[in-house]
Structure 1
């Protein structure tokens, strides 16, 4: 019997209308009624993920910023936190200045950009979060941040990723949450690290966990979990490493997983 389910939000828990359907909501409640811990594991900021978690009635710690922050919903106690090392953050900032790249960062759960442009506007339209413009971005770089993010064309970011890994070294974890979002965290700021931490927090093993996602930034937690599930709409690379492929986010794929592996219903 699985004891914990960690669910990605975008293109996984929510459909393309950015909603948790009533059918999926009911499945979440049924899993919780079976004493299964249901949590979220997302690249989103805590404030953004918190809003969705509260809508679904969750009251447990949630995994945010790709795994760099695990925080209670009830009392907002921080259980696990990993910041981008300042040396790496500074190198990344200087590189982005030299190459005129769009870089944004999070300080105290607030999103900051160096300038007001279409990239930050489109990004915040996706997850409905406010943002702040700070031209003196260097003073932000010296402050603790769980995540920094570059927005650009997918092919360009595919080439940039290896360059930044060479520049920043093994201090950081670099992943893509969407084709045009390259995200930089502490090297232990992954959903896989956070899932293992949360499993121990609840007194179970990662093998007792189900992880559900759609993008490459989910692969560490799918690999860490006893049952790694890729959505029907997941990228091919994630489906290849998954133990199971469910329906898409527009077909209540999360509900399908809960019914099959928690409630024992034949789908």
Structure 2
């Protein structure tokens, strides 16, 4: 019997129209009614994620910033937080300024960048996020950040990731949430570790958890969970490690997984 299900938001819970369909919404409610803890696990900022969580009627802690922040929806109490180490923040800013890369950082759940450009505008539009410009990046370095993000061409980011791992060392976790988003967190800021934390918080075993996702930033969570579910629209590498591949995000894949493994109504 599964007791907790953690669901990614983008391209997983929501369809390409950025909506939770009525059918999926009903499945979430039925899972909660069956006594299962339903939570979200996303790379998004808390402010962006909690809007979707509230819309779906959830009232539990949610996993945000790839696992760097776990926060209650009801009283907004922080249960788990990990910030990018200061030394890594400075090195990353230096590198991105020197190589003219677009770097964003989150401080107090607000999105900051050094300059306004199309990458920033498109990102903010995609996530419904307000942004702030701070040309003097030295002011941003000492402030705590759960996540930093570089936006660029997917192939370039694939080449950049190992360079940054060499530069920043083991203190950080580097992953991709979308092909053109390279995200940098504290090394314990992963959805997998956040899922472990939440399972312990709710007193259930990892074997009693389900994780559902579509991107490589979900792989730690799928590997940690008792049942790892990849969407039909997931990247091939995630499908390879998943225990089950459900329907796509446009075919209520989350509902299908809940019906099959929690409600046991799907064939």
Query: 1:132 matched to which residue of 2?
Result: 132
Q: Report what 2:170 is aligned to.
A: 170
Deviation (angstroms), 1:15 = 0.1
Q: For 1:73 and 1:264, how far apart are their aligned partners in 2?
A: 28
- Unaligned segments of structure 2, at least 5 residues: none
> What corresponds to 2:76 in structure 1?
76
The CA distance in 2 between the partners of 1:213 and 1:103, in whole Å, is 25
Q: Which residue of the partner structure matches residue 252 of structure 1?
A: 252
Aligned to 1:230: 230
Deviations 1:210-233 (A, max 9, x none): 000000000000000000000000
After TM superposition, the structure 1 = structure 2 runs for residues 148-187 of structure 1, keeping only pairs within 5 Å, are 148-187=148-187
Distance, in Å, in 2 between the alignment partners of 1:149 and 1:206 is 29
- When the two structures are superposed, what TM-score results if normalisation uses the length of structure 2? 0.99
1:201 aligns with 2:201: yes
Mapped to 2, the partners of 1:233 and 1:137 lie a distance apart of 38
- Structure 1 residue ranges without an equivalent (≥5): none
1:1-267 pair list within 5 angstroms: 1-267=1-267
Instruction: State the Cα distance separating 1:266 from its structure 2 match.
Output: 2.9
CA RMSD, aligned part only? 0.5
User: Offset at 1:137?
Assistant: 1.4
How far apart, in 2, do the equivalents of 1:197 and 1:7 lie?
A: 15
Supply the distance in 2 between the matched residues of 1:259 and 1:179 (Cα, whole angstroms): 30
1: distance between equivalents of 2:206 and 2:133? 40
Contact 2:256 2:266 in 1 (8 A): no
What is the alpha-carbon distance in structure 2 between the residues aligned to residue 147 and residue 221 of structure 1? Answer: 18
How many residues align? The count is 267
| Alpha-carbon separation, structure 1, partners of 2:204 and 2:259 | 21
The Cα of 1:128 is off from its aligned counterpart by 0.8
SS at match of 2:75: coil
CA distance in 2: counterparts of 1:255 and 1:141, whole angstroms: 42
Where in structure 1 do 4 or more consecutive aligned residues deviate above 6 Å? none
Deviation at 1:205, TM superposition (A): 1.1
Q: Tell me how far 1:245 sits from its aligned partner.
A: 0.2
Tell me the distance in 2 between the aligned counterparts of 1:205 and 1:20: 28
Task: Give a deviation string over 1:124-175, Cα, whole Å, max 9, x none.
Answer: 1111110001101121111110000000000000000000000000000000
Query: TM-score, structure 1 length as denominator?
Result: 0.99
Shift of 1:240: 0.1
CA distance in 1, matches of 2:97, 2:138: 10
- Aligned residue for 1:207, secondary structure, equals helix
SS at match of 1:193: helix
